[in-house]
Structure 1
Amino acid sequence: MVSIRSVHGSAQLLLDVTGGVTDIVEKMHRTIAREVNPLNRLRDMTGETPVAKQGHTYRIIQSTTSLLKQGLHRSLDGLSAQEEWELSPQSLKITAALNGVCGDHLEASGNPLAISMHLRNSRGEKLQPGSTSLSTMIPDASPRIAVLVHGLCLSHEYWKGHNEGNLGTELQSAHGFTPLYLNYNTGRHISRNGRELSQQLQRLIETWPVEVEELTLIGHSMGGLVIRSACWYAGELDLPWTSRLKNAVYLGSPHHGAALAKAGHLLTSVMRQFRYASPFALVRHTSAGIKDLRHGNLLDDDWAGVDQDDFHPDYRKPVPLHEGTRHYFIAAAIGKQVWDLPSTMLGDLLVRLDSARGQHSDDLKKLSICAEDCRVFEKLNHLDLLDNKVVHEQILGWLA
C-alpha cells in the first residue's frame, strides 16, 4: 500500500525540482541571448527585449508551481500528519539516499520525506528515550550500550549486513552490549546532527532501564564525524553523558575530508568561472552535509558565514579527540598493499588513507592516534567496512 506521506513528499520534491530546473533554464537563456547581441544587456533593462518577455513566461511557470505546492499542502498535510508511517526496508534506503543529497532542503521545506533523528532497537523499532515504553522495547537492557551511526545517504538498515553479519548483534553475543542504531538526515550540517545526537544520548543515559556503565559509539564514514561533533557539543552544552563513553570506533571516516567531495567542489568552482557552464554547476545545489565533507567540518563555526561553494582554504577549528575515551580507527584500501599506487591515491574509493587515519600536515588538526588502535584493511572498499567479517573481528577484539 502506498503511503500518503510518501506521495505527499515525493510530489512536493518533484515540484521543487521543477522550480529549480526552471531557474537553471532561465539563467542559461538569458546568458545566451545577451551574449548573441550585447545590446540586449542594455535593452533588457527597459523590458523591450525577447529576454524580458521570456522572463515573464518563467515567472508564470514559477507561480503555477507555487500554487500547486500550496494546494498540495492544504490537501495532504492533515492526512500525512495523522498517518502511522513505516517504510519498507527498500523504500527506507531510497528515502535515506534522497536525504543525503538534499536533506537540508527537505527539512527546510517541511517535506514529509525528511528523516528526523531517532534510535532503533535490534528489531528495527523506533525508541523514544524518556518514555515509559523504553523498558518494554528493551526488556533485556544491558549496562553496556553500543550505538551504531551510519554514513552519508545510508540508513540503519545497512548495518544489518549484506553478506557476513550484523555488527550490533555480534557485539551483543560476544560482549553483552545492547545495540542501538541511529537513523538521521545526512543532508543536514554535520554540526547540527552532532548537537542533536549529543542531546539524545543524554536523554538515553538518563532514562535507560538500568544504570549505564559503558557507552560505545561506532560510526561509519560521516557517522564518525557526527560522533566527534556530538562529543564536542556535549562539552559546550555541559552534558555529562561523555563520562560513560569508554570507546569510539571510526570506520572509514573522512576526518579531514572526502576525496569525492573535494573533486565535486573543484569541478563546481571551475564551472562557475564560465558563463555558459555556471548554471549547470549542480554540485552547489547538493546538501549541506555533502559540502561539510569537503574538509570534514564538525562545528557551526566551520561553515557559518562561509560560502561553501567558493574555493576557500580549510577554516576548520581544530577538534581534538575526546579525552577519557579510547578511540579506534579503521581504514580501507582497494589495493593489495597499503603502499601501492591505488591504495595511496584512492584509499577506499571515497576516503583517502591519511584522512581516515586522522593524519594532517597541520599538527593542530592532526589526530593523536596510538598505532595499536589503528588498522588498515587491504582489498576493501568504503562500503565493505560495514559487513566484513575480518573488520568485525578486529572491532570485537578491541572491545573485548
Structure 2
Amino acid sequence: MVSIKTLHGSVQLLLDLTSGVTDITETMHRTVARDANPLNRLRDIAGLPPEERQGRTYRMIQSTTSALQRGLHTSLDRFSMGDESSHLPQNVKVVAALNGVCGDHLEASSNPLAITMNFRNSNGERVLPKSANLSSVVPDASPRILVLIHGLCLSHEYWKGHNEADLGTELQRAQGYAPLYLNYNTGRHISSNGRELAKQLKDLVEAWPVEVEELTLIGHSMGGLVIRSACWYGRELELPWTRLLKNALYLGSPHHGAALAKAGNLLTFVMKKFRYASPFALAQHTSAGIKDLRHGNLLDDDWQGIDQDDFHPDYRKPVPLHEGTRHYFIAATVGKHVSTIPSTMVGDLLVRLDSAKGHHADDLRRLHIRPEDCRVFEKLNHMELLDNKVVHDQILEWLA
C-alpha cells in the first residue's frame, strides 16, 4: 500500500527529476549547437543572461514543471499529515533508499520524503526525548542505553534481518540494555548527522526515565562514521553523554573511504573533462552523504569550500577515537582467507579491509586499537554483518 505521503514525495521528486533531465538535455543541445554554429559561441561570450540563452521550448518545460510542483504542494500537503501507511516496512525501506541517493536534495526542497532524525524502540515506535509519554514508549528503560545506527540507504528496519531476535533485543535479553534504533537521512553530510546525533543524545540522556549509567553505540557502515562525528562534536560542546559512552562498535565502517565512492568520483572527474560526456556525469548529482564516503569525511571542515566532484587529495582533519571509550572494529571479506591479496583488496564488496580496520599509512589518521578489539570475518559480505550469528556472538562476548 502506497501512502499519500510517499505518493506526494515521489511525484515531487519525479518533477524535480524532470527539471534536472531538462537541464541536462538543454546543456547537451547547446553544446552541440555551439560547436556547429560559431555564431552561437559569440552569444555565450557576449555574456547574455541564462534566460535569453535558454530556448523557448526548455523555458516552457521548466515553467510547466514549476507550476505542477506548486499545485502538488497545495493539493497534497494536507493529506500527507497523519498518514500511517507511510510507516509500513516496505515504504520505510524505499524512502530510506531514496534518502541515501538524494537525501540532501529532498531536505533542501522540503520534500515530505526527507527523513528527520529520530529514535525508534524495538517495536518501531518513535521515541521522542522531550515527549511527556517517554516512559510508556520505553517501558523497560534501563540505566544502560544501546543505540544502533544503520548505514547508507538503509533504515532501522534493516537491523531486524531474518533472525527472530535482532542484535538489539539479543543484547537486551543477555545484558539488560535498553535498545534504541536511530533512523536518519543518510544523504545529508555525515558531519551534519553527527552534530545532530550529538544533540539528540544529550536530550535523550537528560529525559531518560531512569538515571543513565552507561551508553553504547553500534554503527553499521556509514553509521560508524556518524558515531565518530557525533563523538567529536559532543566533546567540542562538552555534552555530558560523552562521559557516559563506554563502548563504540563499528561494523564494516569505511573509516578511510569506500572503494565504490572513490571509483564513482574518478569516473565523474574524467567525464567532466569532455564536453559531450560532462552532462551525463550523473554521479555529480548524488547525495552529499555518498560523496563524503570517498575519503570518510567526518567534519564540516572536510568538505566546506571543496568541490567534492573534483579529484582532490584527502583533506580530512585527523579525528582520533573518543577517549575513555572502548572501541571495537568488525570487518569482513567475501574471500575464504583473510591473508590473501584479493580478500584484502575486495573486502566485503563495499569496504576494503584496511579501511574497515582503521589502518592508514599516515600515523595521524591511523585508528589505534588493541588487536583483541578487532575481528575480521571470512565469507561474509557487507550486508551480512547486520544479521549474522557469528557476528552477534562476537559482539555479545565483547560487551559481556
Q: Same fold (TM over 0.5)?
A: yes
| Match in the other structure for 1:288 | 288
SS at match of 2:250: strand
- Is the CA contact (8 Å cut-off) linking 1:118 and 1:183 kept in structure 2? yes
SS at match of 1:180: strand
| Match in the other structure for 1:155 | 155
**Judging changes above 3 Å, is the alpha-carbon distance between structure 1 residues 178 and 348 closer, same or farther for their aligned structure 2 residues?**
same
| Match in the other structure for 2:395 | 395
Residue 161 of structure 1, CA deviation: 1.4
Which amino acid counterpart does residue 363 of structure 2 have in structure 1? D
Residue 131 of structure 1, CA deviation: 1.6
Between the aligned partners of 2:2 and 2:363, the Cα distance in structure 1 is 53
Residue 79 of structure 1, CA deviation: 2.9
| Match in the other structure for 2:344 | 344
Residue 87 of structure 1, CA deviation: 2.1
Residue 165 of structure 1, CA deviation: 4.2
| Match in the other structure for 2:123 | 123
Between the aligned partners of 2:370 and 2:314, the Cα distance in structure 1 is 25
| Match in the other structure for 1:272 | 272
Residue 137 of structure 1, CA deviation: 1.1
Note the alpha carbon deviations across 1:274-314, whole angstroms, 9 max, x for none: 11100000000000000000000000111111110111111
Give the alignment of 1:1-400 within 5 angstroms: 2-42=2-42, 55-81=55-81, 83-84=83-84, 86-163=86-163, 165-400=165-400
- Is the CA contact (8 Å cut-off) linking 2:8 and 2:72 kept in structure 1? yes
Residue 30 of structure 1, CA deviation: 1.1
Residue 325 of structure 1, CA deviation: 0.2
Note the alpha carbon deviations across 1:374-394, whole angstroms, 9 max, x for none: 000011110010001000000
Note the alpha carbon deviations across 1:90-117, whole angstroms, 9 max, x for none: 1110000000000000000000000000
> What stretches of structure 1 of length at least 5 have no aligned partner?
none
Which amino acid counterpart does residue 288 of structure 1 have in structure 2? A
Note the alpha carbon deviations across 1:319-345, whole angstroms, 9 max, x for none: 000000000000001111112132121
Between the aligned partners of 1:364 and 1:79, the Cα distance in structure 2 is 52
Residue 166 of structure 1, CA deviation: 0.7
Deviates more, 1:368-377 or 1:232-241: 232-241
SS at match of 2:318: coil
- Is the CA contact (8 Å cut-off) linking 1:165 and 1:389 kept in structure 2? no
- Is the CA contact (8 Å cut-off) linking 2:6 and 2:91 kept in structure 1? no
Between the aligned partners of 2:69 and 2:303, the Cα distance in structure 1 is 31
SS at match of 1:260: helix
Between the aligned partners of 1:43 and 1:137, the Cα distance in structure 2 is 64
Which amino acid counterpart does residue 294 of structure 1 have in structure 2? R
Which amino acid counterpart does residue 171 of structure 1 have in structure 2? L
Which amino acid counterpart does residue 333 of structure 2 have in structure 1? A
Between the aligned partners of 2:262 and 2:375, the Cα distance in structure 1 is 24
Note the alpha carbon deviations across 1:118-155, whole angstroms, 9 max, x for none: 00001110011022211111111111111000000000
Segments of 4+ in structure 1 off by > 6 A?
44-48
SS at match of 1:122: coil
Between the aligned partners of 1:374 and 1:177, the Cα distance in structure 2 is 22
**Judging changes above 3 Å, is the alpha-carbon distance between structure 1 residues 376 and 81 closer, same or farther for their aligned structure 2 residues?**
same
Residue 3 of structure 1, CA deviation: 2.3
**Judging changes above 3 Å, is the alpha-carbon distance between structure 1 residues 374 and 164 closer, same or farther for their aligned structure 2 residues?**
farther
**Judging changes above 3 Å, is the alpha-carbon distance between structure 1 residues 302 and 46 closer, same or farther for their aligned structure 2 residues?**
closer
Residue 13 of structure 1, CA deviation: 0.4
Length-normalised TM-score, structure 2: 0.96
**Judging changes above 3 Å, is the alpha-carbon distance between structure 1 residues 305 and 11 closer, same or farther for their aligned structure 2 residues?**
same
Note the alpha carbon deviations across 1:222-253, whole angstroms, 9 max, x for none: 00000000000101222111111100000000
**Judging changes above 3 Å, is the alpha-carbon distance between structure 1 residues 137 and 53 closer, same or farther for their aligned structure 2 residues?**
closer
**Judging changes above 3 Å, is the alpha-carbon distance between structure 1 residues 229 and 53 closer, same or farther for their aligned structure 2 residues?**
closer
Length-normalised TM-score, structure 1: 0.96
Which amino acid counterpart does residue 257 of structure 2 have in structure 1? G
- Is the CA contact (8 Å cut-off) linking 1:164 and 1:387 kept in structure 2? no
Q: How many residues align?
A: 398
Cα RMSD over matched residues? 1.8
Between the aligned partners of 2:110 and 2:392, the Cα distance in structure 1 is 38
**Judging changes above 3 Å, is the alpha-carbon distance between structure 1 residues 57 and 323 closer, same or farther for their aligned structure 2 residues?**
same
- Is the CA contact (8 Å cut-off) linking 1:161 and 1:387 kept in structure 2? yes
Between the aligned partners of 1:67 and 1:318, the Cα distance in structure 2 is 47
Between the aligned partners of 1:254 and 1:45, the Cα distance in structure 2 is 45
**Judging changes above 3 Å, is the alpha-carbon distance between structure 1 residues 173 and 26 closer, same or farther for their aligned structure 2 residues?**
same
SS at match of 2:148: strand
- Is the CA contact (8 Å cut-off) linking 1:164 and 1:388 kept in structure 2? no
**Judging changes above 3 Å, is the alpha-carbon distance between structure 1 residues 336 and 26 closer, same or farther for their aligned structure 2 residues?**
same
- Is the CA contact (8 Å cut-off) linking 2:2 and 2:85 kept in structure 1? no
Between the aligned partners of 1:47 and 1:175, the Cα distance in structure 2 is 68
Between the aligned partners of 2:43 and 2:86, the Cα distance in structure 1 is 56
SS at match of 1:29: helix
Between the aligned partners of 2:316 and 2:160, the Cα distance in structure 1 is 34
> What stretches of structure 2 of length at least 5 have no aligned partner?
none
**Judging changes above 3 Å, is the alpha-carbon distance between structure 1 residues 250 and 47 closer, same or farther for their aligned structure 2 residues?**
closer
